[in-house]
Structure 1
Amino acid sequence: MIVQITGNVNYPITLDPTVWIFDDRKLPYEKLFSNENESPSEEEADDLQKASMRWDREIYQQSINPPVNKSISRFEKEKILKGTFFMPLKPFIATSEPASDIKSVTIQTENGDHELSIEQMQQAMFLFAKEGKPLKENGPVHLYFEDGSNKDEPITGVKRIIFN
């Protein structure tokens, strides 16, 4: 259940998608492939205000007490256990520091290899959880593009990303 980033990079990386459910960078399916307008809904604005208040409280508390593990609310826990989530690849690509002369990227899967450009990889997203569960069938991740161009036919069974 791991994915490796290798090839012409300064730092080869091994990714474990099973821990991404707790990562704040994850994006819900609805936010990524929604056709709704970009203005936040009333519920999202309320969530944003609550998050802002929590942030202010945390900063105040840290100035008084040392930081402690923050628990998640019941609502957030239910969203995590039932949600479908994506992880953007851009931060992982930046961390691996690919060489400046990269010409292409090879995605190794269970079903063969796929050649992509570095530009396509910059907008790539991994689907890692569907309905709150890790992808076991054709997993550990499926590769999608932010623009939705392969929404109906993602690259499945991704095992390794090789920068050429």
Structure 2
Amino acid sequence: MEQIIPIKGAVKFNITLDPTVWIFDDRRIDLDDFFTGKYEYKDELEEYTKVTSAHWSREIIEGSTNPPTLKTEKKYERTKVLTSTFGIELKQFILNAEPLNDATKLVVETTDGEHTFPLEELDSLLVKFSHKGKPLSEDGPVHILKKDGSNINDPVNNITAFRIE
């Protein structure tokens, strides 16, 4: 099975996606938390600003100090990566390919046929790339899930390409 998925069609840039590296992406979403309602959306810029501001304030007040080692947090994160189910939002990748102005739909090509979504629905689509810490090797490399959970038991799978029309 091919792990690389192209985004092609009515786009300014044909790009390819490699889902095997998304496990290291900070934009990944823990789908177990997402579909049980425990997930909190975090604005990356806002989080970065808060952390930087707190660090700057501490250095001004206390002076520069070396941070303590965070071995337990690193161990927890490693365990979570090896046991959780993860996904990522599809919209950001489609927008990076820059769909042309006349493009209106996303066609998901699979080994079983095609599935069509209007481009306006990109906000509602997630790409699942791992299940319980393992890549989706049998019917993957990714699955398409709707954020409302309506197709969680019957996702779009066996995906070979994303085509913009």
| TM-score in same-fold range (> 0.5) | yes
RMSD: 3.0
Report if aligned partners of 2:32, 2:84 keep a CA contact under 8 Å in 1: no
Report if aligned partners of 1:120, 1:145 keep a CA contact under 8 Å in 2: no
Distance 2:108 2:125 in 1: 11
> In structure 1, what is the equivalent of residue 161 of structure 2?
160
Please state whether the residue corresponding to 2:36 is helix, strand or coil: coil
1:91-130 counterparts in 2 under 5 A? 91-130=92-131
Please state whether the residue corresponding to 1:78 is helix, strand or coil: helix
* The structure with more radius of gyration: 2
TM-score, structure 1 normalization: 0.77
Percent identity reads 34
Alignment coverage as a number of residue pairs: 145
Distance 2:127 2:82 in 1: 18
The 3 A distance-change label for structure 1 pair 143 and 59 is farther
Unpaired stretches in structure 2, ≥5 consecutive residues: 42-49, 65-70
Distance 2:148 2:75 in 1: 32
1:23 pairs with 2:25 = yes
Runs of 4+ residues over 3 Å off in structure 1: 52-61
Distance 2:54 2:129 in 1: 31
Unpaired stretches in structure 1, ≥5 consecutive residues: 41-51, 65-70
Deviation at residue 120 of structure 1 after TM alignment: 2.5
TM-score, structure 2 normalization: 0.76
1:106 alignment partner AA: V
The 3 A distance-change label for structure 1 pair 161 and 39 is closer
Distance 1:26 1:122 in 2: 15
2:93 alignment partner AA: F
Distance 1:58 1:83 in 2: 34
